[in-house]
């Protein structure tokens, strides 16, 4: 094996042989990464800072201010963070450690690695969605396949026009360079590569076979002589509450400021502990700060601060690793010594997997390399396996150095807000539903419909940033609601029972209901009441927000994942229109572990698998706004009101209690449960026996046809079904209503609302829905598009 290329390449890396990895025989061992070779911390941090400053110069000030840095676990987590420091950009690194309560935003594969799966677990999903340049950082760029996998995965979710790949060394072949550049160009994006050095590795064709023979021929490393274990001192660092220990869930400019401010005090604590620890050799002249796998950056910055505090050239830095590498005690070989120890952080690949620390133990000459080791781990890794057992890491470190200090950092666990409950928030009983929402009741968010939509149009705002004025129904309209409820209670009860029995059959008694606020919430309560009535079950029920174009509430998902198995959660809504929210939900839940199969009472759009009926009939809760939904508004998502650790928001209209019919609706439907129980069980059995419940999206096709026939250039201006048509008349600026000829009393409330607003109702043939509402194109901007930022349509 030999390195070729730029003069700096041999200064940056050496070569070693991997053990136990049939995919790749060699390993590039960086001298400036701080992973396998202990190095001065200023050198390690400085290598990343230099790359970050080069990226800033390449981007320019405006683009650099919008950039986000993504580092790769485990080896490049510290390097990527250092690049982000040099660029002064927010940072996230991939991880191989699933974290309870944080559903993955996505993931990708590192094909040549011994541990391939990468997860992305940002607390704020908007971190990767800003559209600015994305800077991907790895320690080496060998083929570019991992980078390409990442770009393709993220581009599907958050397209952008500029990617930068940053690495210490770029060892790609000309073919690899062309393949990566062409693939990114196909996405319509620009690609830049920034590396400290470039070149290649000359490998014989039979490198794997040669490596296996060489590894087999190397005699096993003799165990170090047994000595009295060095003192072990636990150092309780004053780590600031809420400060992330790294970039696993994101690291912001504010986090960087907090860490920089506290580092001198933390270094003083370490220095005092070193001075106070007893050791046979006296003063610790050579100190190693040893990080832990992905936990590279915090130990690096502690080591850098400690080096400044102690002065001289006394401190080195490196970390433990998952990478199995052959150790040969030869001056020309990069990995001289190795300690192997059991994994101690309950990893997903099993506790029996070995971990390693290199170039820390003495060599054949028996000379101690370090007088003291400061081991820095997070609290997840501070387990009995770290301390106990013949080969535990702490036990082995105490055999090879004069003293050991253990500093345990709190693994960052983003705080979760508490749910809201009635009667303080909503008129529903507290056991009926937990609202995963932020209370915005004291915030003025309403405006008249026309004013609101015009303002949104002119400002390009999102429809979820404000609220329409709550419609106060007239006595005539309220009577229509009660008539509709009396006429449809049996039908609704049957649909509720069919859905509940289907969910119980397919998901089991441990299911958790998550209704889509707000229209899904009374449906979720009814399903919950059915399960209690028919089966004696007391199932949890939550209301969560989903916003077209912005996805589901990620903080709510974190809450659900922290308290329940994701596989047990069932998302519930009232009905489907053309299926926009169904698609939004499926996209938002990709890679999270949650099942995107939405359960609804009525599926006229034919876009879900679990439904009570596919007929388009009136569910009376669609007739009203908050007064049939627990006095809760539609949900709100607006910067300045909703932070990255907040649930989406909503208002509780307690002043409308005099017209509240929420409980009357629930009680009227629940009173019919006994009458329809047998039919509901039969309906669930028929649904289970259906060989193909795959949605055919016939409703979406019909909407596209209607859009073309009426000269509307955006299907999002077409709201199919009686429920969606009602919403158009209550919340939007309606243009006209299409009613299927011959539809009877199900549309009485629609006709009344249309008459009150001066909207024509056009009787048509061949309509797959009972009615369709068309939003006036003139007011469509910002309120009706697929992203919530709609286009202008043609007026009639």
Query: Tens of pLDDT along 596-627?
Result: 999 999 998 889 999 999 888 878 777 778 99
Residue 505's pLDDT band (boundaries 50, 70, 90)? Answer: very high
| Burial class of residue 258 (count of CB atoms within 10 Å of its CB; 0-12, 13-18, 19+) | middle
Residue 183's pLDDT band (boundaries 50, 70, 90)? Answer: very high
Rg of the chain over CA atoms, in angstroms? Answer: 31
Looking only at the bridges linking them, the beta strands covering 551-552 and 315-319 are unpaired
Region 229-234: mean pLDDT is 93
The rounded percent of the chain whose pLDDT value lies above 90 is: 54
Residue 226's pLDDT band (boundaries 50, 70, 90)? Answer: low
Residue 790's pLDDT band (boundaries 50, 70, 90)? Answer: very low
Region 765-788: mean pLDDT is 66
Q: What is the pLDDT of residue 418?
A: 94
Q: Are 614 and 522 in contact (CB under 8 A)?
A: no
Specify the higher pLDDT residue, 336 or 419.
419
d(C-alpha 745, C-alpha 755), whole Å = 15
| Burial class of residue 372 (count of CB atoms within 10 Å of its CB; 0-12, 13-18, 19+) | buried
CA of 457: how far to CAs of 342, 451, 453, 781, 782, in Å? Answer: 60, 10, 6, 4, 5
Q: What is the pLDDT of residue 348?
A: 57
Q: Are 279 and 368 in contact (CB under 8 A)?
A: no
Structure tokens that stand for 690 in this block? 């259906």
Region 479-492: mean pLDDT is 87
Q: Are 517 and 633 in contact (CB under 8 A)?
A: no
d(C-alpha 128, C-alpha 487), whole Å = 49
pLDDT at 234 over 90: yes
Handedness of CA 617, 622, 624, 627 (dihedral sign): positive
Q: What is the pLDDT of residue 163?
A: 97
pLDDT at 350 over 50: no
pLDDT at 423 over 70: yes
d(C-alpha 151, C-alpha 774), whole Å = 39
Q: What is the pLDDT of residue 529?
A: 98
Q: What is the pLDDT of residue 692?
A: 76
Looking only at the bridges linking them, the beta strands covering 771-775 and 734-740 are antiparallel
Region 285-303: mean pLDDT is 96
Structure tokens that stand for 510 in this block? 């441990």
Q: Give me the helices (H) in 281-356, please.
A: 297-310
Nearest to 14 by CA among 140, 173, 138, 194: 140
Structure tokens that stand for 694 in this block? 């795959």
The rounded percent of the chain whose pLDDT value lies above 70 is: 87
Region 738-759: mean pLDDT is 87
pLDDT at 780 over 60: no
* Mean pLDDT, the chain, integer: 86
Strands (E), 565-723: 569-575, 599-602, 610-613, 649-650, 718-720
DSSP 8-state assignment for residue 634? P
Residue 448's pLDDT band (boundaries 50, 70, 90)? Answer: low
Q: What is the pLDDT of residue 457?
A: 45
Q: Are 733 and 778 in contact (CB under 8 A)?
A: yes
| Burial class of residue 777 (count of CB atoms within 10 Å of its CB; 0-12, 13-18, 19+) | buried
Is pTM, for the whole model, over 0.75? Answer: no
């Amino acid at each position: 094996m030999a390195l070729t290329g730029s003069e700096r390449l041999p200064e940056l890396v050496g070569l070693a042989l991997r053990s136990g990895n049939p995919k790749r025989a060699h390993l590039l061992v960086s001298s400036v990464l701080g992973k396998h070779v202990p190095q001065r911390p200023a050198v390690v941090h400085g290598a990343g800072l230099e790359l970050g400053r080069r990226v800033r110069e390449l981007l320019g000030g405006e683009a650099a201010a919008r950039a986000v840095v993504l580092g790769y676990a485990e080896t490049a987590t510290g390097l990527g963070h250092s690049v982000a420091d040099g660029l002064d950009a927010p940072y996230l690194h991939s991880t191989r450690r699933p974290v309870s309560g944080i559903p993955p935003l996505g993931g990708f594969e590192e094909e040549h690695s011994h541990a391939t799966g990468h997860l992305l677990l940002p607390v704020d999903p908007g971190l990767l969605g800003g559209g600015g340049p994305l800077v991907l950082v790895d320690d080496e760029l060998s083929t570019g396949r991992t980078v390409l996998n990442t770009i393709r995965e993220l581009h599907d979710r958050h397209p952008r026009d500029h990617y930068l790949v940053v690495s210490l060394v770029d060892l790609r072949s000309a073919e690899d360079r062309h393949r990566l550049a062409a693939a990114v160009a196909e996405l319509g994006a620009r690609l830049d590569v920034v590396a400290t050095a470039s070149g290649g590795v000359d490998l014989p064709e039979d490198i794997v076979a040669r490596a296996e023979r060489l590894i087999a021929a190397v005699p096993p490393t003799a165990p170090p002589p047994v000595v009295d274990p060095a003192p072990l001192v636990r150092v309780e660092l004053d780590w600031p509450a809420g400060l992330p220990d790294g970039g696993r869930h994101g690291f912001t400019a504010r986090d960087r400021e907090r860490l920089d401010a506290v580092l001198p005090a933390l270094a003083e604590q370490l220095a005092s502990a070193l001075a106070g620890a007893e050791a046979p050799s006296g003063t610790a002249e050579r100190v190693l700060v040893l990080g832990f796998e992905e936990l590279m950056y915090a130990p690096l910055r502690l080591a850098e601060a400690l080096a400044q505090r102690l002065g001289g050239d006394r401190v080195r830095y490196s970390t433990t690793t998952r990478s199995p590498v052959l150790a040969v005690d030869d001056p020309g070989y990069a990995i001289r010594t190795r300690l192997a120890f059991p994994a101690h952080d309950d990893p997903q690949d099993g506790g029996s997997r070995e971990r390693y620390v290199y170039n820390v133990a003495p060599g054949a000459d028996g000379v101690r390399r370090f007088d003291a080791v400061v081991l820095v781990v997070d609290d997840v890794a501070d387990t009995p396996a770290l301390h106990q057992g013949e080969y535990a890491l702490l036990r082995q470190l105490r055999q090879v150095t004069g003293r050991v200090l253990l500093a345990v950092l709190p693994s960052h666990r983003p705080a979760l807000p508490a749910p809201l409950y009635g009667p303080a928030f909503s008129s529903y009983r507290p056991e009926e539903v937990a609202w995963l929402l932020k209370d915005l009741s004291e915030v003025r968010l309403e405006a008249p419909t026309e004013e609101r939509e015009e303002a949104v149009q002119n400002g390009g705002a999102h429809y979820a940033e404000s609220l329409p004025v709550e419609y106060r129904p007239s006595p005539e309209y309220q009577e229509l609601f009660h008539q509709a409820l009396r006429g449809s209670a049996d039908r609704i009860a049957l649909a509720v029972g069919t859905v509940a029995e289907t969910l119980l059959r397919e998901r089991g008694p441990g299911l958790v209901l998550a209704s889509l606020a707000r229209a899904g919430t009374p449906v979720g309560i009814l399903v919950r009441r059915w399960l209690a009535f028919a089966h004696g079950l007391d199932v949890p029920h939550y209301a969560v927000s989903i916003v077209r174009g912005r996805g589901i509430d990620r903080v709510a998902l974190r809450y659900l994942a922290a308290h329940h198995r994701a596989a047990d959660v069932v998302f519930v809504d009232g009905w489907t229109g053309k299926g926009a929210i169904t698609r939004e939900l499926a996209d938002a839940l990709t890679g999270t572990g949650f099942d995107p199969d939405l359960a609804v009472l009525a599926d006229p759009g034919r876009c879900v698998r679990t439904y009570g009926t596919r007929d388009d009939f009136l569910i009376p809760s669609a007739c009203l706004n908050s007064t049939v939904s627990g006095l809760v508004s539609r949900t709100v998502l607006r910067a300045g009101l909703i932070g990255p650790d907040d649930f989406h928001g909503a208002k509780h209209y307690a002043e409308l209690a005099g017209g509240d019919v929420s409980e009357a609706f629930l009680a009227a439907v629940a009173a019919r449960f006994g009458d329809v129980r047998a039919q509901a069980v039969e309906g669930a059995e028929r649904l289970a026996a259906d060989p193909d419940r795959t949605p055919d999206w016939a409703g979406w096709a019909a909407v596209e046809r209607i859009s073309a026939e009426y000269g509307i250039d955006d299907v999002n201006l077409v709201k199919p079904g009686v429920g969606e048509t009602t919403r158009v008349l209550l919340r939007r600026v309606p243009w006209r209503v299409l009613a299927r000829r011959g539809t009877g009393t199900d549309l009485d409330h629609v006709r009344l609302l249309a008459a009150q607003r001066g909207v024509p109702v056009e009787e048509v043939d061949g309509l797959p829905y009972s009615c369709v509402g068309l939003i006036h194109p003139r007011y469509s901007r910002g309120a009706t598009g697929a992203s919530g930022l709609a286009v202008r349509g043609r007026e009639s």
